[in-house]
Amino acid sequence: MIDQTNIKAILIDLISAAFDTSATAVEWTISELVRNARVMEKLQEEVQSVVGMERMVEEKDLGELTYLNMVVKESFRLRPIGPLLVPRECREDITIEGYWIPKKSRIIVNTWAIGHDQNVWSNNVEEFYPEDSWRGT
Ligand code: HEM
């Protein structure tokens, strides 16, 4: 049975996990496009050639919008919405890369740092450069 507690949990999921993340991701992506005219123009050209100006973008178009895919991934790298993800609890004692992690430790995964690691990305990790993001997929 769905009671008040379930409804509260669903609403929190919807508002914080679904609406807010999506809106913030769109805001960051648009702001990067505004700051990067080269990327904006290349993306506009793709959308115009794949979809045209007579209709809206539809889900079936996504497979062909490869540059859009790169732009979204680059946005997630440079401006991650949940930079520290959701905390985890370690289920067993374990050693990873020489680090001893006792059972029940709280683990925070820093995806912001992963997205800014110069060993993985280019030297210019602060630049919004979708072509580089593609390399990381
Ligand atoms: C651009 C949009 C979104 C972004 C950037 C985003 C980002 C994230 C991140 C970073 C996490 C944590 C993942 C982890 O710690 O492993 C997460 C978890 C989650 N997201 Fe999203 N999210 C988005 C859209 C949505 C939408 C639309 C929904 C629901 C309709 C949703 C539902 C959830 C739920 C339920 C979890 C928890 C999953 C779990 O417990 O394993 N998210 N999301």
List C-alpha distances in Å: 133 to 41, 93, 113, 117, 122.
18, 34, 15, 12, 9
Query: Does any domain span residue 101?
Result: no
Which residue among 19, 21, 75 has the greatest number of ligand 1 atoms within 8 angstroms of its CB, and so is best to mutate?
A: 21
Domain count, the chain: 1
Burial tier of 121 (Cβ tally within 10 Å: 0-12, 13-18, 19+): buried
> 18 CA distance to ligand 1 centroid (A)?
7
Residues 88, 94: contact at Cβ < 8 Å?
no
**Distance from C-alpha of 116 to C-alpha of 124, rounded to nearest angstrom:** 9
Residues 133, 69 contacting (CB under 8 angstroms):
no
83 C-beta closer than 6 A to ligand 1: no
pLDDT band for 103, please (50, 70, 90 cuts).
Answer: very high
Q: Look at residue 123 in the predicted model and tell me its pLDDT.
A: 77
Residue 105: inside a domain: no
pLDDT in tens, 39-87: 999 999 999 999 999 999 999 999 999 999 999 999 999 999 999 999 9
The CA 66 to ligand 1 mean position distance, Å, reads 23
| Domain span at 32 | 4-82+111-135
Q: Is the residue at 55 inside a domain?
A: yes
Which residue's CA is minimally distant from atom 37 of ligand 1? 17
**Does residue 59 belong to any structural domain of this protein?**
yes
Residue 17 in contact with ligand 1 by CB distance below 6 A? yes
Question: Percent of the chain having pLDDT more than 70?
Answer: 96
Helix (H, G, I), strand (E, B) or coil at 88: strand
Work out whether the CA dihedral 36, 79, 71, 136 comes out positive or negative: positive
pTM for the whole structure: 0.90
Q: For atom 10 of ligand 1, which residue has the closest CA?
A: 82
